[in-house]
Structure 1
Amino acid sequence: MRFVIRRFLLFVAALLAISVVIFAALRILPGDVASVMAGLNAPPERVAQLRSQMGLDRPLVVQYLSWMGGLLHGNFGTSLLTGRSISSTVAMRASVTFPLIVLGLVVALAIGLTLGVVATLATRPMVRSAFHFLAIVGGAIPALWGGLLLILLFGRGTGLLGVLPSQGFPEAGWGSFSSALASLVLPALTVGIIDGASLMRYTRSALGDVMQSGYIDQAMACGYTRRQAALKVGLRLATPQLVSVVGLMFAGMITGVMVIENLFALPGIGTGLVTDLGNRDLIAVQSELFMLAAFFLFVGFLVDLLHRFLDPRLKHAVQGGAQ
């Protein structure tokens, strides 16, 4: 319980620090936020109106506390360009981005864990070298190029096979479940293949280290074959290390899918953030950046807890050190 409380306090402290950085960044940059949003040739009356509307004429401490108070109540503010609630806009975009990340992670796990185990268990040097080469090539593929290649192969209307949609998201959203899911298949494959190649290298390395330890010899002495010992003992011992890798990969996908969303014309958080930056809707950008940072920190918090739960040796080490 003390460990959980300590990690939670660190999470809250990091979140507050990030909020201060994001808030200050939009006010330390050269120029006035209202002037930037109003445009270069905006009359002074328009700039003054924006400053009053955005609350920029109030002290900075008051502005920050007002913004944080709104965030705590789930109120991200109102877009000055569209007049819509930023919370509803972000929620709509998140309904595209987060399913895409989850599907991409599923693909990455299926590829990375499976091929990583197969590569570790391979005994022929040529086969091991082939898997090593595959992991390097797959991880080196740029996301943009990989996505274009999948569009040319499977994109409906332009691809060689033409079986999957390659642009857009249904207007009905997840109300049209089959169409929504089909529109995310190619983007998820693009993300999953690249991250799966990286996960394959980590799996091969972590499981390879365990295979050279005495745990596998003990399991084989109890009657397990090498394959059974790797699957039932090796993977379990390598799981804490892989959980950390998968957690960071999952959090990193939130920024990695920005390119993919723009390529496949998906109305997700990445596309929306680029659009808001181009439209100078800095109030929306401020809240969206905070949400992304909070998500990244929260995933790290969960990974710490899960790593502690899966590896009892950490608990015993801390208790031994305390004694």
Structure 2
Amino acid sequence: MRFLAQRLMLFVAALFALSVLVFAALRILPGDVAAVMAGMNATAGQVARLRTELGLDRPLAAQYGDWLAALLHGDLGVSAFTGRSVTAEVAQRAQVTFPLIGMTMALALTAGIPLGCAAALARRPAVRGAFRLVAIVAGAVPALWSGLLLILLFARGSGLVGLFPSQGFPMGGWRQPGAAFASLTLPAVASGLIVAASLMRHTRSALGEQLEGGAVAMGMACGMTRTEAALRIGLRLATPQLVSVAGLTLAQMVTSVMVVENLFALPGIGAMLVTDVGNRDLIAVQSELFLLAAFFLLVGLLVDLAHHALDPRLAAGADREGGRA
């Protein structure tokens, strides 16, 4: 409980520091925020009116206090370009982005970990070299290029084998689960290949270290085969490390999903952020950046807690520190 309380306090402090950083970042940029949002052809009166409407003529401390209070109540503000609530817009687009991230991660785990185990257990140098080549090539292919290749191969209307839609998301959303799943399949594969290659390399490295340790050798001495000892003992001991890698990869996946969403014309959070930046809707961008950065911090917190729960050595160390305190 002490460890959990400490991590939660650090998480709250990091969120506060993050809010200050995001708020200050848009205020220290050259020029006036209202003038940037109004555009180059706006008159001085229009800029002054927009500044008053957005509260930009108030002291910075008051602006930050109002924004922070709104965030605590779940209010991300109102888009100056569309007039819609940013909270409602994010909630709607999250139905695309987070299922896409989930499908990508599921694909990466399903392919990356078994291939990494196979690469670590391979005895022949040629087979190990082939696995290494697959990991390097798959990890080096940009998501944009792999997405275009998948469209040319499997998209309806333009691909060699028309299996999946290449653009958009069904109007009914997840009320049409088949169509929604099909529209996210190609984007998930385009992003998942890169993530699977990364997980494959880390799994091969982590399991390879365990194969050289005493735990796997002890399992083999007790009658297990090399493969059984590696998967039942070595992989379990390597799990905390793989959880850390998977968590960091999940957080980084948000940025790669932005590219894929724009390529496949998906109405997700990444596409929303790109559109708002292009429209100079900086107040909406402010809240969206905070939300994405908070997601990074949340994933880091969950990974830290999971790592602590899976590795008894960390729990024992925390107990000793608590006893000394």
Shorter-chain TM-score range: over 0.9
TM-score of the two chains, using structure 2 as the length reference: 0.97
Instruction: Name the structure 2 match of 1:296.
Output: 296
Q: Where does structure 1 lack aligned partners over 5 or more consecutive residues?
A: none
- Name the CA distance, whole Å, in 2 between partners of 1:156 and 1:230: 43
Instruction: Name the structure 1 match of 2:142.
Output: 142
Q: Does 1:258 align with 2:258?
A: yes
Instruction: Name the structure 2 match of 1:121.
Output: 121
**Corresponding residue SS for 1:189:** helix
- Structure 2 counterpart of 1:196, which letter? A
Instruction: Name the structure 1 match of 2:12.
Output: 12
Deviation of 1:281 (Å)? 0.7
TM-score of the two chains, using structure 1 as the length reference: 0.98
Deviation of 1:109 (Å)? 0.3
Deviation of 1:120 (Å)? 1.1
- Name the CA distance, whole Å, in 1 between partners of 2:294 and 2:235: 31
Q: Does 1:56 align with 2:56?
A: yes
Moved more, 75-84 or 242-251: 75-84
**Corresponding residue SS for 1:171:** coil
CA deviation map 1:62-115 (0-9, x unaligned): 110100110111111111111111000011111100000000000100111010
Deviation of 1:320 (Å)? 4.4
- 1:1-323 alignment to 2 at 5 Å? 1-320=1-320, 323=324
CA deviation map 1:15-70 (0-9, x unaligned): 11111111011111111111111111211111111111101111111110100110
- Name the CA distance, whole Å, in 2 between partners of 1:229 and 1:151: 42
Deviation of 1:316 (Å)? 1.8
**Corresponding residue SS for 1:77:** coil
- Structure 1 counterpart of 2:9, which letter? L
Are the equivalent residues in 1 in contact too, given 2:3–2:318 (CA < 8 A)?
A: no
Deviation of 1:318 (Å)? 3.8
- Name the CA distance, whole Å, in 2 between partners of 1:217 and 1:98: 42
- Structure 2 counterpart of 1:42, which letter? A
Deviation of 1:10 (Å)? 1.1
Using the aligned pairs only, state the percent identity.
63
- Name the CA distance, whole Å, in 2 between partners of 1:319 and 1:73: 37
- Structure 1 counterpart of 2:125, which letter? P
Are the equivalent residues in 1 in contact too, given 2:23–2:64 (CA < 8 A)?
A: yes
Deviation of 1:303 (Å)? 0.4
- Name the CA distance, whole Å, in 1 between partners of 2:138 and 2:304: 28
Moved more, 310-319 or 143-152: 310-319
- Structure 2 counterpart of 1:154, which letter? F
CA deviation map 1:129-176 (0-9, x unaligned): 100111011100011111111111111111111111111111111111
**Corresponding residue SS for 2:42:** coil
CA deviation map 1:159-201 (0-9, x unaligned): 1111111111111111111111100000000111111001100
Deviation of 1:220 (Å)? 1.1
- Name the CA distance, whole Å, in 2 between partners of 1:156 and 1:255: 27
**Corresponding residue SS for 1:57:** coil
**Corresponding residue SS for 2:56:** coil
Deviation of 1:221 (Å)? 1.4
**Corresponding residue SS for 1:136:** helix
